Chain A
Amino acid sequence: MKNFLKITISLLIGIAGLFLIQRIFLPKYTKDVVEGSFIEEYYDDKPDHDVVFIGDCEVYENFSPVELWQKYGINSYIRGSAQQLIWQSYYLLEDTLKYEKPKVVVFNVLSMKYNEPQNEAYNRMSIEGMRWSMSKVNNINASMMEDEHFVEYVFPLLRYHSRWNDLTSDDFTYIFDTPHESFKGYYMRIDEKAASNVPEGPALTDYNFGENSYYYLDKITKLCKDNDIELILIKAPSLYPYWYDQWDKQMVDYAKEHDLTYINFLELTDEIGIDFEHDTYDGGLHLNLSGAIKLSDYFGQYIIDNTAVTDRRGEAELSAKWDKVIAEYNQEIENQKKEYNITD
């Protein structure tokens, strides 16, 4: 009995030690690559959003949920991640629906261009923050590159142990909980870098999106229809990567065939008022806050006019929660003004 107790205690201490070490070695995404923390942050938000965005950086850098709330009372969240592939969007949507049923789901279609897994580092940023469920398991299996291993997602220490010489004080400070880096999934930048000389894409040998991409687009469409959710397909107004006319036509045709709304914001930049001299921080790839506000103002009006989403600013509890986010959002604007030496 005494031996059994000793063995049990030793095992528990060993497991706890391994868990602790694993937590230390996991990237914290607190300073430079903050986008890696976005997927996990969702679970801290009360899941009663009316609009949920899914997709790559073209959603989390171009739309501001704070602006949608402040101007229209739209309660939204962005489940975006860097180079989020379409099957990752599908499984993130499946995961989201375990917690809530939004009225509208917005999907950015740029990821249709990727028919196969692309890059482990991006995979991990899209997947590791998910809570464990069959959606996460299936997401890993759909996303892994040839040289990736499932067990390394279950025990990330096996993959990250070589970070030992990159560890910083943040890895110990945020061992169990990392600070929020996004504003309801939005990545804010207020600096400016005008777009110029944006190249067209080189001619392709085949403009048709791949079978795998369509397979998951069909699944997103079906999942939304089965849950009585309005799916809106969008192409965000990012000038690069290049969005070919041939790709656009496929999305127009798909939306028509499946009775969906598809909005190509690249064709609406004048109407929205986006000025690529001032409304982008990286030469046209992503909008800065000024551009995101314009785009959100435009899209928010569309959502209010054309969907079942309503103004919820009258709800005291929800408003109080948003007030907290808005205060942090405004503080971040002030912080970035100092960082980028911007005066009003």
Chain B
Amino acid sequence: MKIRNLLIAGLATALLCGCSSGEKSIGGNNEEAPAPVETATQDVAQGDTAQAAPTGYYLTVNDYKLAVDQPMETVIASMGKEESYFEAPACAFDGVEKTYTYNNGAIEVRTYIAADGKDYVNFVVLKNDLVSTDEGLSVGDNTEKVKQVYGEDYKDNNGSFEYTKGNMKLLIVIEEDAVVSIQYISTAVNN
């Protein structure tokens, strides 16, 4: 009888082992997804004019403050229809990474799917000099201009500049002393 009780107890322990609320679920169709990040702009709906400032760097496009971790539906409602759209389904699992392009190809917005199943802004990329950052930096500027605009408090990432602010990092990629790409990156999904 004792042995049987022991086995039952062992089985129950094995089944319950690790049953904490923080445990990640695997083995279903959905790959593990990050929780949505609270941002100051999350509740901005189409037509709202009183948009709060995001905590990190952001890019103002037609009076809309575009930032990482914003719900993509809000971005679409505020920035209008994209010029081009691409979606990449995840290998094997459900979920689609989406890429939206705006402003004659100058701005690219890529998304991630959060645990609530909705798309959020993963990163924003400035690809050419048709658009400048709110602080005044453009693709093509030199490294001196980067330091002049964003200061000396940066991490050297293989010769490129990485500035961290709030829930994001601003990556300014340098090739031959010139800015070739400016990237607003969510730290919720990218370490």
Please list the residues of chain A having a beta carbon within 8 angstroms of any beta carbon in chain B. Answer: 6-7, 10-11, 13-14, 17-18, 21, 26-27, 32-33, 35-36, 56-57, 82-83, 119-122, 124-125, 147, 155, 157-163, 166, 196-199, 202-206, 240-241, 282-283, 285
Bound-complex Cα distance A241 to B88 (A): 9
B133 within 8 A of A: no
Which of A161, A205, A283 interacts with B158 by CB under 8 Å? Answer: A205
Which of B4, B11, B84 interacts with A197 by CB under 8 Å? Answer: B84
Let me know if B14 and A161 touch, CB within 8 A: yes
- A-B contacts besides A21-B11, A203-B175, 11 pairs, CB < 8 Å: A11-B7, A26-B27, A82-B93, A83-B91, A122-B91, A147-B24, A158-B14, A197-B84, A199-B99, A205-B157, A205-B160
In the complex, what residues of B have CB within 8 A of residue A27's CB? 27-28
Bound-complex Cα distance A120 to B26 (A): 8
B89 within 8 A of A: yes
Let me know if A14 and B89 touch, CB within 8 A: no
Bound-complex Cα distance A6 to B7 (A): 13
* Majority secondary structure of chain B interface residues (helix, strand, loop or mixed): mixed
Let me know if B3 and A7 touch, CB within 8 A: yes
In the complex, what residues of B have CB within 8 A of residue A198's CB? 86
Stretch of B15-23, B37-45, B47-55, B56-64 on the interface side: B15-23
Let me know if A17 and B29 touch, CB within 8 A: no
Bound-complex Cα distance A219 to B84 (A): 42
Name 13 A/B residue pairs within 8 A (Cβ), A-sorted. A18-B11, A27-B27, A32-B29, A32-B94, A82-B92, A120-B26, A121-B31, A158-B14, A196-B86, A202-B173, A205-B157, A205-B160, A283-B87
**Least distance between B175 CB and chain A CB atoms (Å):** 7
Which of B3, B101, B181 interacts with A10 by CB under 8 Å? Answer: B3
B166 within 8 A of A: no
Look across to chain A and name the residue whose beta carbon is closest to the beta carbon of B18. A158
Q: What mask results when residues 54 to 81 of chain B are scored 1 for a CB within 8 Å of chain A, else 0?
A: 0000000000000000000000000000
Bound-complex Cα distance A57 to B89 (A): 12
In the complex, what residues of A have CB within 8 A of residue B19's CB? 161-162
B188 within 8 A of A: no
Look across to chain B and name the residue whose beta carbon is closest to the beta carbon of A26. B27
Which of A147, A157, A161, A205 interacts with B171 by CB under 8 Å? Answer: A205
Bound-complex Cα distance A39 to B4 (A): 37
Q: A33-B92, A203-B173 are in contact. Are A6 and B3 (CB under 8 A)?
A: yes
Let me know if B28 and A35 touch, CB within 8 A: no
Which of B4, B15, B183 interacts with A161 by CB under 8 Å? Answer: B15
Let me know if B11 and A283 touch, CB within 8 A: no
